[in-house]
Amino acid sequence: MNKRNLPNLNKTIISFLIGGLGMPSVVMAGNYLDLVQYPAGSSGKEPAPNVIISVDDSGSMGWDTGGCMTSDLDTRYGTPYNETGAKYVPDNNPSATPTDCPATRAGNTNKSRIRALKDALTAQFGDANATPGTKGSTPDNSIRLAWQTMHNNGAATTADSLVAGNTNTIKPFAGTHRVNFSNFANSLKAYNGTPSHKMVKNVYDYMRSPAGKNNPWAENPTVTEGTYLACRRSYHIFLTDGAWNSSNKQSVGDADNTSVPLPDTVSYSRTSNQTQAYVDTYGNNDLSTLSDYAFKSWATDLQDGSDSTKNISNSVRPLIKKSGVEKVGALDLEEYWNPKNNPATWQHVSTYTIGFGKTATSWSNGPIWDSTTDSNYLGGYSALVNNTVEWPDVFGSEDNRPAELWHMALNGRGRYYPVRSPDALANAFNDILGQIFADTSTPITGFASASTSVISSSTGVYQSVYEADGWKGGIVSYTAAQGTAALTPNTAWGTKTDGKPKSTGDILDARTNAQIPDRVIYTYNAGGKQFTWDNLSATTGGQQDLLKDGATGTAGTTLGQNRLNFIRGDRSLEGDTTAKPFRVRTSRQGDIVNSTVWYSARPAAGYSLQGYSTFANTHKDRLPMLYVGGNDGMLHGFSAEDGTEKIAYIPQGIYKNLAALTKPTYQSTHKYYVDGSPFTGDANVSPTASTPDWRTVLVSTLGAGSKGYFVLDVTTPGRKSGAASTTSTPVSNFTNTDPNASAVVWADKTDGSDADIGYIFGDPVTAEGNTQQATQIARMNDGRWAVVLGNGYNSTNEDPVLVIQYLDGQNTTAAPSIRKIVAASGTTGNAAANGLSTPRLVDLNGDGTPDVVYAGDLKGNLWKFDIAHTDPANWKMAFSTAGCTSCTPLFTATEKTNTTEPQPIVAPPSVRPNSTGGMMVAFGTGQSLEEGDRTDVSPQTFYSVLDNTRYKLDATASNKGKVLVDTSVVTPVALGSGRTNLVERTFNSTIITGALASTGQDFWNMTTGQTALAYTGTGAKKGWYLELPISGERVLQSAEFLSGSNILQIKSIVPASGGSTTGDVAETCTPNSIPAKGYLTLMGIEQGLKPTVQLLDADGDGVYNSASAKDNDTNRTTTSPEEIALRGVGEQLRVGSDGKTRKIAEPPAPDLTINWRQLQ
């Protein structure tokens, strides 16, 4: 007899079967679910930043970008000429010659600088006065904008000053304010001198405005003072085309050459070797340098309560682009003093500068600017940091003054942009605003980190974690102390300097860029391939085009290849700049949110089938592996021994979103990729029965990342450490070759081409007593091995379909690669806006093959599939005729009061024989798929219903020994909808507060007077139900049986909520995120009553006593949303993802056999 550990009904009931005593948030039609793409509770919407734009409208802005004047060449400033046509025509200026001012310059029309500025502002901010109005690249309310010019030659309202409350001061950029800015931009004209000091002084003074509705940090400046959001960031974008030449003696002293304590108490020392990039010695009390003003605006708490300002708390989030110490030349530059970073937590201004034209992009002395890369951190940067070169004297030489722009940007922890053409100017504005959007659209993190799953093996405990700030993920490894379950870091994986365990992400990040090509990453393009550019589909709209994301030509190819390298883990182009355009990651490994970690070691299914024992012995020294999906686009396979990555796989269905991973805006536009859960199982994939070919196959879905699933052969990941050199276990075939990629990747059904397959959610269904043995990989009654799945949601056809994907590689009419059983088809009723959830396979006669399948759908239907026959042509829906298009479910769950409102079923049911015949099928309702689900309080229910079907063994030659429905004792009857034949079970609402070791837990007991229900005789019932008592509570995972008993462990949850960063969501510095709340309820599957012994320790004294003064008959408690059970002495130690350990008593022997004994 095959020892397959399917959830079978035990060989002891076979005679019972033969004897005939028996066995056994919804959407509107046509509407797809709007699947949420970020983890609940992860964040809040960061406040829109304050942005001040200061632009040069001096006379030289009338020159062209190459320095050619548009008026008399001997006169530095003159009246701007008519720019109609945007080309400079030499004949318009009789003092110029074609040699001096060519009609066109290479690569661009010969625009004047002021014309180029107008065009760049329009491209970035739109033109509200156009017909129709445009918004450029800056959405409404994405920033709060102010603006100013040096002279206001165009007579825009108040534009030559920044006086609190004026038209051009900070307000949300939308509506009238957008129109006013367009008026300003369109009116710009070039005339007069360059009083740059006036501009930077205006900014400093304005940002020191007194408290009140005109304060730049007010809730709605000039309208409502309201709430000051202390985490709001502020920026100054300063544009000039040359050296300043009018100062009017504005001064904040020699700010960057003066040692001061910063608002966070860190000392700025002008003599420290860490600060030399900021220091110059030229400012004084009569006249400061522009860089002094930039430093003063950064280093001062601009709203500290002094001088009538508002005393706002220091809650600005530091921006760390380069963590830790960076080697710059000979100096170890500390993180705090690295100009790439902005550690300021106080209200301050970050400065970005644009030098427009030849006269603003070069200087005579001081640090060399690297004009090849235009990087702020190359050229003379290292010499500045190491104090081997100083900033030039900007008072003694006008030619040195353009260097102030670089110096200002470093002092203001921003960036300098040298611009030499109109197109480059537009790109500079776009890059700066893009950087500001990236810096200020980072979700305000509600939880520093989150754990999404926790599993155990014989060798340790593994926990997946993620950090919403940066979307970093990983798995950490612990060892659990026997008897207490106390967790300590697994030293084989290493620990960090703070003693915390290293994660797989930390280990992956330790690799250098040079080691990244060694990563074994496979993908799919008409078969398994290495993840390299040449292996991707080059057809129109194919994988290469998706990585190019609209870019074309050679530049598009280069961009696509660079994106591929980024996804592989190369970090050389992370920087959010023109030269380094990609997102700065906090880790190579992305967040792990909904994917459950799967542990796979030596083959241990224990089959007695031909060839299996040889297979298991051959692979007895196989490397134990951890598999998990990540939102970096990959399924990862890590060594469970040391946490190193051995393999990764990128499914074809997620290419459409891969480019988004590289974009600086990704932090606020998170997406799910490989967010489903993998599982493995051993299968004989030979098409010939006499020559078995056993393999370990991995199947994974993608959750909300994409439709479908994929199948990999993970038989040979390598050998475990300590294996003898003579071991028969093969070495790894996870290597960088296309033949091995082809051998490992068996099937990829994630491209959306199958109209019946949708987005598949849910954890794997595992064997009772072995949480790392999947039951969905099984030998079917036709003798072929397959993986059995629900088709998921949002399929093209929207039907509920059972999918049977065979694993033997055959694909003929007689032996197709895939079979489907459709529960409902068409366009209405159960066939509209629906899909089948994760199924439960049940082996009725103990022969190791599943005979029936139970699964729910989004419309509350509990379906039963009959797959017991050796001929798949006879597989069908139970309670229905073969080929039905609107089949009959076993039961339909609807709300108690609103009986027309179905309750979705997303978790697989649990099954046990009923003591009087038939099968009890238990399941809960509720979903968490869309944003609205997270806060939905629709009533949800846990049911246990009777399937009264009886069976016998078939005696016909073609189907001998297989189970057959026996109608001679009782006719199988579907239960319909509603609760007429069900008994309600209830709990007292009074909370019993946990004490001692149970402090922090809440407990409940059941209402008194509830009695056993009868399944036979007059008034016989068909099951029971429990209305989940907490608002928003629902069941999203299968109920497990406690230690092999008939006691259900009903795990329910109120999902985490909050965290949306888009749409009509209020800005906040304090996230409105609410963490998930877990509940555990213990009830017998048949009667729905509390266990006959006390299993919870409410008073925390270590003794399980049901007395009212002790544990008070409690059988429901709060718990962690995710947990694992470790064996203690007479009790289970339940380690939660929240780091807490809770205890449950093991049932004594009589409870272990309750109901089963009556079947023998």
Provide the 3-class DSSP secondary structure of residue 948.
coil
Summarize pLDDT for 1015-1042 with one digit per residue, the tens: 999 999 999 999 999 999 999 999 999 9
Radius of gyration of the chain (CA): 35
Q: What is the DSSP string of 293-310?
A: HHHHHHHS-TTBSGGG--
Provide the 3-class DSSP secondary structure of residue 204.
helix
Nearest to 21 by CA among 902, 1109, 690, 949: 949
Least confident of 324-333, 809-818, 855-864: 809-818
Displacement of CA 477 from its chain's centroid (Å): 22
Asked whether residue 99 carries a pLDDT value surpassing 50, the answer given is no
The span from the CA of 839 to the CA of 764, in Å, is 9
Is 63 in contact with 113 (CB distance < 8 Å)? Answer: yes
Provide the 3-class DSSP secondary structure of residue 173.
coil
- pLDDT for the residue numbered 42: 53
Provide the 3-class DSSP secondary structure of residue 586.
coil
The span from the CA of 256 to the CA of 294, in Å, is 9
Instruction: Please state the φ and ψ torsions of residue 728, each to the nearest 5 degrees.
Output: -85, -10
382 falls in which pLDDT band (50, 70, 90)?
Answer: very high
Summarize pLDDT for 1112-1142 with one digit per residue, the tens: 999 999 998 888 777 777 888 887 777 788 8
Provide the 3-class DSSP secondary structure of residue 693.
coil
Is 33 in contact with 929 (CB distance < 8 Å)? Answer: yes
Count of positions (residues) in the chain: 1160
Question: Is 0.85 topped by the overall pTM?
Answer: no
883 falls in which pLDDT band (50, 70, 90)?
Answer: confident
The span from the CA of 351 to the CA of 203, in Å, is 10
The span from the CA of 323 to the CA of 1072, in Å, is 28
The span from the CA of 285 to the CA of 529, in Å, is 67
888-890-895-898 Cα dihedral, nearest 10 degrees:
40
**Up-side HSE of residue 73: CA atoms within 13 Å toward CB?**
13
Provide the 3-class DSSP secondary structure of residue 534.
helix
Summarize pLDDT for 1064-1105 with one digit per residue, the tens: 567 888 766 677 899 999 999 999 999 999 999 999 999 999
Number of other residues whose CB lies within 10 A of the CB of residue 1152: 17
- Cα separation values, 56 from 68, 150, 161, 250, Å: 17, 6, 13, 18
Which residues face 1067 on adjacent strands?
45
The span from the CA of 634 to the CA of 649, in Å, is 5
Asked whether residue 550 carries a pLDDT value surpassing 50, the answer given is yes
Asked whether residue 92 carries a pLDDT value surpassing 50, the answer given is no
- If one compares 805 and 485, the residue with the highest pLDDT of the two is 805
- Which residues, in sequence order, are CB contacts of 1146 under 8 Å at separation 6+? 1042, 1043, 1130, 1131, 1132
Asked whether residue 904 carries a pLDDT value surpassing 60, the answer given is yes
Is 800 in contact with 823 (CB distance < 8 Å)? Answer: yes
What is the token pair recorded at 522? 């496979």
Asked whether residue 444 carries a pLDDT value surpassing 50, the answer given is no
- Cα separation values, 368 from 52, 119, 359, 395, 1152, Å: 29, 31, 15, 19, 80
Displacement of CA 258 from its chain's centroid (Å): 45
Asked whether residue 634 carries a pLDDT value surpassing 50, the answer given is yes
The span from the CA of 700 to the CA of 979, in Å, is 36
Nearest to 910 by CA among 922, 892, 893, 919: 922
User: Identity (one letter) of the amino acid at 124?
Assistant: Q
What is the token pair recorded at 508? 């992956």
Summarize pLDDT for 414-442 with one digit per residue, the tens: 999 999 888 899 999 988 998 898 787 65
Helix (H) or strand (E) holding 1125: strand 1123-1127
Asked whether residue 641 carries a pLDDT value surpassing 60, the answer given is yes
- Which residues, in sequence order, are CB contacts of 683 under 8 Å at separation 6+? 694, 695, 696, 697, 777, 779, 785, 807
Summarize pLDDT for 453-464 with one digit per residue, the tens: 666 776 688 888
Summarize pLDDT for 674-723 with one digit per residue, the tens: 999 999 999 999 998 789 999 999 999 999 999 999 999 999 999 999 99
Asked whether residue 84 carries a pLDDT value surpassing 60, the answer given is no
Is 711 in contact with 787 (CB distance < 8 Å)? Answer: yes
- pLDDT for the residue numbered 31: 62
Mean predicted lDDT score pLDDT of the chain:
87
- pLDDT for the residue numbered 108: 42
Asked whether residue 470 carries a pLDDT value surpassing 90, the answer given is no
What is the token pair recorded at 384? 């500045």
Nearest to 804 by CA among 880, 667, 889, 709: 709
Give the mean model confidence (pLDDT) for residues 211-224.
97
Give the mean model confidence (pLDDT) for residues 199-225.
97
- Which residues, in sequence order, are CB contacts of 134 under 8 Å at separation 6+? 122, 126, 127, 128
Nearest to 856 by CA among 785, 981, 914, 942: 942
- Which residues, in sequence order, are CB contacts of 753 under 8 Å at separation 6+? none
- pLDDT for the residue numbered 555: 95
- Which residues, in sequence order, are CB contacts of 353 under 8 Å at separation 6+? 237, 238, 239, 405, 406, 408, 409, 414, 415, 416, 417
Which residues face 965 on adjacent strands?
951
